[in-house]
Structure 1
């Protein structure tokens, strides 16, 4: 087993902070630290996704240590999800969806460099992206190479849901090598760094 993951919890509401700390304190491979200390992951708990709360997200991911960010909010629209990703979040959860196991899985996912977003938010972002493409001729005119085909969208949706390569391959009836190739092709085409960057880019630009 590797070194424990260090994580901190950040919230404007001390009751929300205490609840998250309690849920995470029993996970054996996690070490809880204070927000001002070095952490691999910061869990940021929001009441709503607005400018003040997004500033909290951005500040949690700033500084010399730059932890990966998980954002938990009471609710999120697709636009608010895009804003949270733009502020640096790699993992998004709604508060009513969170239990200790799901939160721990999300923390591990973002610590490993991937993104995880609720599937219905991905669908909402897809609809939002299509509306923006209709509204802006410059987006529509980028040509077929700019977008994603259905296979690429299906793979990225599952990557965004925190699924591993073997799981994606089984569910979509592809080989693991095909899934890896699809993700590599996307990152190379758009000059992206990795899977996490690919998901974040696709969500921000309406490709998903």
Structure 2
């Protein structure tokens, strides 16, 4: 399957360089480049890229704001952030906004290609130093408290709970549909109803709630004792 990619960078020389690099990859098709955050949103709506590769510095609106707005689209693309900054605040903002992958501008061409392919497959990839910091932070945290009560969870149907658990484990809409043998539109409908019932705005908040409420725990267990593999890849090959 060919991965359709939109490139966003405030410096045309970088955008053009990335386009030249990615155009040489057989399974990647660059559908456009832009240095303008608002124009990027328009291009996403009209050209429907699978993955957006973006810096955080763009014209009109920032890359971070663009990511947040794209997350509210009906079928948002996967986001690979390609930025100079790897400060903790940047990492937190980018991940909360809904980005799938985060790389520094010092990443190798192969790392960028791998990140795009991982994002298109519904996986997460972080720069090695960022991944190490997150692991260190996690290990320093106190033991996880008892799940917070969340009465709204009782309003979910069995199918909605299953879809929520699968999404919380990192599965894409396409993967959930294939696993449950239902249409992608049906998965999106389930997710819309779940977000409405639970009062969350986007997929990132839904995943956070699933862990905080105990619907799925950090070890990958869903309620009921099922064990599931994690889809999150913290490595950059």
* TM category, shorter: 0.5 to 0.7
Conserved in 1, the CA contact under 8 Å of 2:220 and 2:229? no
Alignment-derived partner of residue 73 in structure 2: 63
In structure 1, which of residues 119, 126, 132 is the aligned counterpart of residue 135 of structure 2?
126
Residue 63 of structure 1: how far off its partner (Å): 2.4
Conserved in 2, the CA contact under 8 Å of 1:9 and 1:43? yes
Q: Take 1:64 and 1:33, find their aligned partners in 2: how far apart are those partners? A: 20
Query: Residue 187 and residue 86 in structure 1: after superposition, are their counterparts in 2 closer, same or farther (change >3 A)?
Result: farther
Query: Residue 82 and residue 5 in structure 1: after superposition, are their counterparts in 2 closer, same or farther (change >3 A)?
Result: same
Query: Residue 141 and residue 116 in structure 1: after superposition, are their counterparts in 2 closer, same or farther (change >3 A)?
Result: closer
Aligned pair count reads 151
Query: Residue 65 and residue 15 in structure 1: after superposition, are their counterparts in 2 closer, same or farther (change >3 A)?
Result: farther
Aligned-pair Cα RMSD in Å: 3.7
Residue 6 of structure 1: how far off its partner (Å): 1.0
Please give the residue correspondences for 1:1-208 in structure 2 after superposition, counting only pairs within 5 Å.
3-34=1-32, 35=40, 36=43, 37-47=47-57, 52-99=62-109, 101-129=110-138, 133=141, 142=145, 186=220, 188=222, 195-196=230-231
The answer for unaligned runs of 5 or more in structure 2 is 33-39, 149-169, 171-216
Q: Take 1:13 and 1:23, find their aligned partners in 2: how far apart are those partners? A: 16
Q: Deviations over 1:140-178 (max 9, x none)?
A: 5605x99xxxxxxxxxxxxx9xxxxxxxxxxxxxxxxxx
Alignment-derived partner of residue 176 in structure 1: none
TM-score normalised by structure 1 residue count: 0.59
TM-score normalised by structure 2 residue count: 0.52
Query: Residue 31 and residue 194 in structure 1: after superposition, are their counterparts in 2 closer, same or farther (change >3 A)?
Result: farther
Aligned residue for 1:7, secondary structure, equals strand
Query: Residue 127 and residue 24 in structure 1: after superposition, are their counterparts in 2 closer, same or farther (change >3 A)?
Result: same
Alignment-derived partner of residue 165 in structure 1: none
Alignment-derived partner of residue 151 in structure 1: none
Query: Residue 27 and residue 85 in structure 1: after superposition, are their counterparts in 2 closer, same or farther (change >3 A)?
Result: same
Aligned residue for 2:19, secondary structure, equals helix
The answer for unaligned runs of 5 or more in structure 1 is 135-139, 147-159, 161-182, 201-208
Conserved in 2, the CA contact under 8 Å of 1:16 and 1:45? no
Q: Take 2:222 and 2:22, find their aligned partners in 1: how far apart are those partners? A: 37
Conserved in 1, the CA contact under 8 Å of 2:54 and 2:63? no
Q: Take 2:127 and 2:117, find their aligned partners in 1: how far apart are those partners? A: 16
Residue 83 of structure 1: how far off its partner (Å): 1.4
